[in-house]
Amino acid sequence: MTTTLDARNLSLQDVQRCLKFEEQFNDSITSLLSLESLTEFEQQELLKIRNLFRSYYAAGKIAEGQIKFLFIAPLMNLAGFYQSSIQITLEENIAEIFVEDEDTSIKGRMDILAVHKSLAETVNTPFWILVIESKNSSINALEGLPQLLTYAYTSLEKQTSVWGLTTNGMDYQFVYIQQGNPPIYQLLPKLDITRLESAIELLQILKSICIS
């Protein structure tokens, strides 16, 4: 009998065993993306988001829904994701994954997905440019990595790579996921929105992913 697993309950070890992912570390985001300087307007808007997070964080735990609405959504808007060529979907079901040698299927629901609409029309498959998994502020951002990898897994059958981001509002962990045998995910240095240089790099990365 096939066992059905919820992606949110999987450990990183589970994902690596079932889906054969191989982990790599990359200390240089510029080896993957070209980062451009922010405009004065972008820096000022980023400062508002940063200060808003600090005020909410000082008041106590920030819920996952608040993180998506108050911080991720404004960051994506500032980075240029809200345009007609990109479709944003929330709480999207993933395609069921069957792991034959373990007689297991995996189901789940991703938090935020950005898709190139124009590319999706030509290849008949959504071309993901970014998938985001969020957690509340009391949970380590890396706790979302198993779900993120699971959600991206089936997309690698149709595209060579996809960007992922898991966050708890304060820490932002970018992951570059690549097609291969085995599939590979690269962990980039974690960014902290409360630190100015880190927050600037966070927005620079989002902007670069958006236009890549």
Q: How many domains does the chain have?
A: 1
What gap in Å lies between CA 94 and CA 180, rounded to an integer? 20
CATH of residue 113's domain is 3.90.1570.30
Side chain identity, residue 184: I
pTM assigned to the model:
0.88
Q: Tell me the per-residue pLDDT of 167-184, one tens digit each, with 9 for 90 and over.
A: 999 999 999 999 998 999
What gap in Å lies between CA 45 and CA 120, rounded to an integer? 31
User: Is the C-alpha dihedral spanning 92, 95, 7, 152 positive or negative?
Assistant: negative
Q: Tell me the per-residue pLDDT of 18-60, one tens digit each, with 9 for 90 and over.
A: 888 999 999 999 999 999 999 999 999 999 999 999 999 999 9
- Can you give the residue range of the structural domain that contains 19? 3-211
SS3 22: strand
